[in-house]
Structure 1
Amino acid sequence: MLEQEEQRDELLEKIEDLISRKRYAELRDLLLPLEAQDIAGLFMELDDKVPMVFRLLPKEQAAEVFVELDSEEQEVLIQSFSNTELKEVLDELYLDDAVDIVEEMPANVVKRILRHADPDVRKSINEILKYPDDCAGSIMTTEYVDLKATMTVEDALKRIRRTGPDKETINICYVIDEGRHLLGYLSIRTILLSEEDDVVGDIMDTHVISANTLDDQEDVAQTLNKYDFLALPIVDTENRLVGIVTVDDAMDVLQEEVTEDIEKMAAILPGDKPYLKTGVFETWRARTPWLMMLMLSATFTGMILTHFENSLAAVPILTSYIPMLSGTGGNSGTQASTAVIRALSLGEVRFSDLLRVVWKECRVALICGVCLAAANFVKMMVVDCWLLANPTVTPAVAAVVCCTLVGTVACAKLVGASLPILAEKIGFDPAVMASPFISTIVDALSLLIYFRFATWILGV
């Protein structure tokens, strides 16, 4: 990793030097062997020199680099393009990439993009934009190879050669009838290894796994991941093929969903910008609502402490163990919720599995709680009572703390495991029921358990 950063810094120095000496032919030759993603990463450091360097790239490579840039950098380039340059870039883009760019751009830039796009491309973009956000239709592309069942392999190869250069992928070809109903599919490997006079309908695979245009895009991405597909056909309600979702788009979806879940689990409103490009006030707006809600909900903890103020006054040593109990409870709940949220996102757990999950967590909680309580009892007796010579740490006080540990871990794991499942059942994102929210609930429960055991064992 460090070596890659050093190479990147050296490359940037060379680029800056060539720009300063106006050695543009050498700069072009330097950029040609690089991958589009690497060039886009270099552009982030070039600031106002980006439009000039971008113009040095060949059309195909320029389009690939353009797709990899952030929306802000894309907007800057579009503003600097002449109408001819804009059309050249648009002509090289795949349809789904063009749709993504249109969705990110402000209205005035979108109008300019659509005005200079080919009529067929403009029509396809508008059709895809009609689909709701987060559904399969919004991320699909209509650039795929379709074949007829009556074609021979020779005819299929001719069609692939004729139409393939403009398609996003030719690895999988889809077989349709006159009404565009999906009949089957063929891999390019199957086509190449078949005889030229073989009929497509005889060699195609009719067991087709597809998705509907209105299916959730995360479900589509999970399907691609589950079956290791390179592309997934998207059909309408009448099983007519309308597009495909490719694996690169699925990876983008999964990355966005994971990022969104992480932000929700950290009590942050999801954002769509990189961290360093998100302004201070945007970050403030994303974090404050959750912090406000959690702060207000935490007042219940204060109310419980106030209610048991006399108990704390009678046995002051109890106060010193509250942070440990709350922290252990929060950590236990977070462990369970993280595992369950991941299982939900991967489709390993459903609402019907709630009782099985609860039963498993009950057993785990009992074992964890007993182990923690035993270790804590030894620590309180040896360290707090004997080594620190604290006479207020008695076996009865240790029993209160240790019993509370068992009860707190049990409650925390049950809450952490069940809340995400219940949240998904009623339509909420399970990630919302993550560490901050669960910790607040567990803090209140741990105090109630703590003082209940104190009342029973110490009589306070």
Structure 2
Amino acid sequence: MSDNKTIEQNDSRHELRELVHSQLELLLAQNNLEGAKTLLIPVQPVDIAEAIEYLPDSEQAIAFRLLDKNKAIYVYEHLETTVQQALIEDFKRQEVLDIVGNMSPDDRVQLFDELPSEVVSRILAELSPEERQATNLLLGYEEDTAGRIMTPEYVAFPSNLTIGEVLSQLRAKAKVSELIYYIYVLDDASHLVGVVSLRDLVINPQDSILEEIMSKDIVYVKTNLDQEEVARLIQRYDFLAIPVVDRELRLVGVVTVDDVIDIIQAEATEDIYALSALSADGDNYFQMNIFAVAKKRVTWLLVLLVTNSFTGTIIGAQEDILAEVTVLAAFIPLLIDSGGNIGTQSSTVVIRGISTDEVRDLGVGKVIYREGVAGLILGVVLGLITMVWAYLLPQTEKNVNISFTVGVSLICISFLASIAGSALPFLFKRLGLDPALMSGPFITTAVDVLGVLIYFNVARVMLGF
């Protein structure tokens, strides 16, 4: 029942977004700005952002300016990067400061990463000293690390304060903090020594000292840790946030779960594109210019075009056997396509296992062994079926040798495709290359070449050439 209710709620939210978008576009076309402003008042910021994104470019800034300042900040943070850039270029100086100056530091840095350097410099110069310092702190860390995605807006107190003293100060600090569910405890040198949940503050006596109730078993990350590892830790421990410390273990920020969700989605999208030798570079693929889309695809397609020419060369070198047994050519697509599919399946599960760290306990050798056995089983099943099918085809004239050639070839190809599909991701990772981006095209090419070689060598043995 709960699943059905969730589906109904999601459908309802989708219908609401569609309604808001259509009505907003209609009101703007009629120049009814007051009506459009009234329409947006009860709508959630994320839904407003989506409605604005699908408006014509000329109307996006108009719709955004209808929002009050506080709501506009939240809406802006939910907009696609390309829309954020377009609005920045359209804004006047004070509008830029009102929006960008009030964004959370991590969201502001994410925006700055996409803007031209001269625009970033101009905006930084206009920010308050405090906001400029917080932004420069994050910009100083490498991209895709914990330091780059953290927010320096957190709540922390000395360990010698009582709960009553903490609660009396918490309201003021909460106004400038992105997260108050965790209270971090520091020593005199700002080292992270403990953490207290908001629940702990509520259920313990007010005269209790933080040092007495804090948890000293702290899970933290360092500023240079890769953002994917940060996401895994938050997912593993079901945290709402994780503290970030510098080399001296001083607390410098926190990474919140909302940023982790964005990271997981972005990394999953990147891996899916990479499996087909595509790269979106963090952009919304379906909002990119069509020529940019073609440019991103053409490079790998040219590489595959050149490497796949080896398959044609090998087939061309088999003229003698093909001239005598022309029916062999009919089975080439079946064999290499089957091998390619099996290799892709193996590479997909291994790449996913590498991404989620599920293969760490098994080790490289066991993973490749498991996939090799699976490929062999699949090859035997498919090979036997194909053998019978080939024997019954009228073109083969019930030639047992041809049937065995096709069946044995498929068994060998399936086994080697599984080995290649599982081994190549580990190899490319060891070489410092993206396993997803490199494995997809290379597996396809390797299986095609190996499949044709295996097929014709088996045929020469079985048919006496």
TM value normalised by structure 2: 0.93
Residue 439 (structure 1) aligned with residue 448 (structure 2): no
8 Å CA contact retained: 1:221, 1:253:
yes
Moved more, 292-301 or 25-34: 25-34
8 Å CA contact retained: 1:150, 1:200:
yes
Residue in 1 that maps onto 2:53: 44
Moved more, 5-14 or 96-105: 5-14
Moved more, 103-112 or 393-402: 103-112
Instruction: Choose which of 314, 328, 350 in structure 2 pairs with 1:340.
Output: 350
Residue in 1 that maps onto 2:415: 410
Report SS of the residue matched to 1:92. coil
8 Å CA contact retained: 1:152, 1:198:
yes
Report SS of the residue matched to 1:131. coil
Taking the aligned partners of 1:68 and 1:238, their CA distance within structure 2 comes to 35
User: Could you report, residue by residue, the CA deviation over 1:202-254 in whole angstroms, capped at 9, with x for unpaired residues?
Assistant: 10111111111111111111111111111111111111111111111111112
8 Å CA contact retained: 2:396, 2:402:
no
Residue 14 (structure 1) aligned with residue 14 (structure 2): no
Pairing of 1:51-450 with structure 2 (within 5 A): 51-350=61-360, 353-382=363-392, 384=393, 389-450=394-455
Moved more, 442-451 or 11-20: 11-20
Taking the aligned partners of 2:344 and 2:61, their CA distance within structure 1 comes to 47
Moved more, 151-160 or 10-19: 10-19
8 Å CA contact retained: 1:131, 1:138:
yes
State the 1:413 CA deviation.
Answer: 0.2
State the 1:69 CA deviation.
Answer: 1.3
Moved more, 291-300 or 405-414: 291-300
Taking the aligned partners of 2:225 and 2:145, their CA distance within structure 1 comes to 5
8 Å CA contact retained: 1:337, 1:420:
yes
Instruction: Output the amino acid matched with 1:441.
Output: A
Aligned residues: 455
Instruction: Output the amino acid matched with 1:28.
Output: K
Taking the aligned partners of 1:391 and 1:112, their CA distance within structure 2 comes to 75
Moved more, 81-90 or 262-271: 81-90
Moved more, 147-156 or 402-411: 147-156
CA gap 1:14/1:298 in 2 versus in 1, 3 angstroms: closer
8 Å CA contact retained: 2:391, 2:397:
no
Taking the aligned partners of 1:189 and 1:147, their CA distance within structure 2 comes to 16
CA gap 1:13/1:277 in 2 versus in 1, 3 angstroms: closer
State the 1:423 CA deviation.
Answer: 1.4
TM value normalised by structure 1: 0.94
Instruction: Output the amino acid matched with 2:79.
Output: L
Taking the aligned partners of 1:415 and 1:46, their CA distance within structure 2 comes to 47
Taking the aligned partners of 1:136 and 1:285, their CA distance within structure 2 comes to 32
Moved more, 317-326 or 279-288: 279-288
User: Could you report, residue by residue, the CA deviation over 1:277-336 in whole angstroms, capped at 9, with x for unpaired residues?
Assistant: 212332222112111111111122122212222121121111100000000000000010
CA gap 1:25/1:192 in 2 versus in 1, 3 angstroms: farther
User: Could you report, residue by residue, the CA deviation over 1:122-174 in whole angstroms, capped at 9, with x for unpaired residues?
Assistant: 11111211111111111111010011110111111122211111111111111
Taking the aligned partners of 2:139 and 2:381, their CA distance within structure 1 comes to 56
State the 1:22 CA deviation.
Answer: 5.4
Taking the aligned partners of 2:430 and 2:237, their CA distance within structure 1 comes to 26
Moved more, 329-338 or 224-233: 224-233
State the 1:359 CA deviation.
Answer: 1.8
Residue in 2 that maps onto 1:458: 463
Query: Unmatched 5+ residue regions in structure 2?
Result: 1-9
Query: Unmatched 5+ residue regions in structure 1?
Result: none
8 Å CA contact retained: 2:158, 2:187:
yes
Moved more, 105-114 or 232-241: 105-114
Taking the aligned partners of 1:347 and 1:106, their CA distance within structure 2 comes to 36
State the 1:72 CA deviation.
Answer: 2.7
8 Å CA contact retained: 1:78, 1:109:
no
State the 1:435 CA deviation.
Answer: 3.0
8 Å CA contact retained: 1:337, 1:433:
no
After TM superposition, the runs of 4+ consecutive aligned structure 1 residues lying more than 6 A away are none
CA gap 1:6/1:188 in 2 versus in 1, 3 angstroms: closer
8 Å CA contact retained: 1:351, 1:425:
no
Moved more, 197-206 or 71-80: 71-80
Residue 30 (structure 1) aligned with residue 39 (structure 2): yes
CA gap 1:351/1:421 in 2 versus in 1, 3 angstroms: farther
8 Å CA contact retained: 1:102, 1:113:
no
Taking the aligned partners of 2:12 and 2:374, their CA distance within structure 1 comes to 44
User: Could you report, residue by residue, the CA deviation over 1:83-120 in whole angstroms, capped at 9, with x for unpaired residues?
Assistant: 33322223431111111111111233213321221111
Instruction: Output the amino acid matched with 2:211.
Output: G
